[in-house]
Structure 1
Amino acid sequence: MSKEPVNKSAKAAGTQEGAKPAQKTGKTRDDRLKSALKANMAKRKSQARARSVVNDQEN
């Protein structure tokens, strides 16, 4: 019987702790995706500028 209260408290603690890290993980994941998207857009913009300079020099 001593195992049952431990399991119940572990489930309750897991539920409470499980929800909080999931929210933190979600925010950090969103932050990572946002910064990766921003970096990717900057890279593509730089590449587009480089291509337009090369095309202008050829014409």
Structure 2
Amino acid sequence: MSGKDDKQGKAKPAQTREDRLKAALKTNLGRRKAQTKARAKARPEGQEGTEPSTSKRET
């Protein structure tokens, strides 16, 4: 084996890692979009821009 083969062998795993990362990002983005759509659909009319409060307040 020559040094040339070694360089090509190392480039391929980096490429496959990049492809995996791209696929994971695309999947995550699709999931987040679907979640946002579901939340918007479940939200009553007139509460378009408000998020439910998650902070604990003492009254």
CA RMSD of aligned residues (A): 1.8
* Structure with the higher helix share, 1 or 2: 1
Structure 2 unmatched runs, 5+: 46-59
1:35 match: 21
Q: CA deviation at 1:18?
A: 1.7
| Alignment TM-score, normalising by the size of structure 2 | 0.64
Equivalent residue for 2:7, pick from 9, 12, 21: 21
Structure 1 unmatched runs, 5+: 1-14
SS at match of 1:34: helix
Tell which has more relative contact order, 1 or 2 (C-alpha 8 A, sep 6+).
Answer: 2
| Alignment TM-score, normalising by the size of structure 1 | 0.64
User: Larger Cα Rg: Structure 1 or Structure 2?
Assistant: 1
Q: Structure 1 residue runs of 4+, over 3 Å off?
A: none
* Counterpart residue identity of residue 21, structure 1: K
Aligned residues with identical type, % of pairs: 4
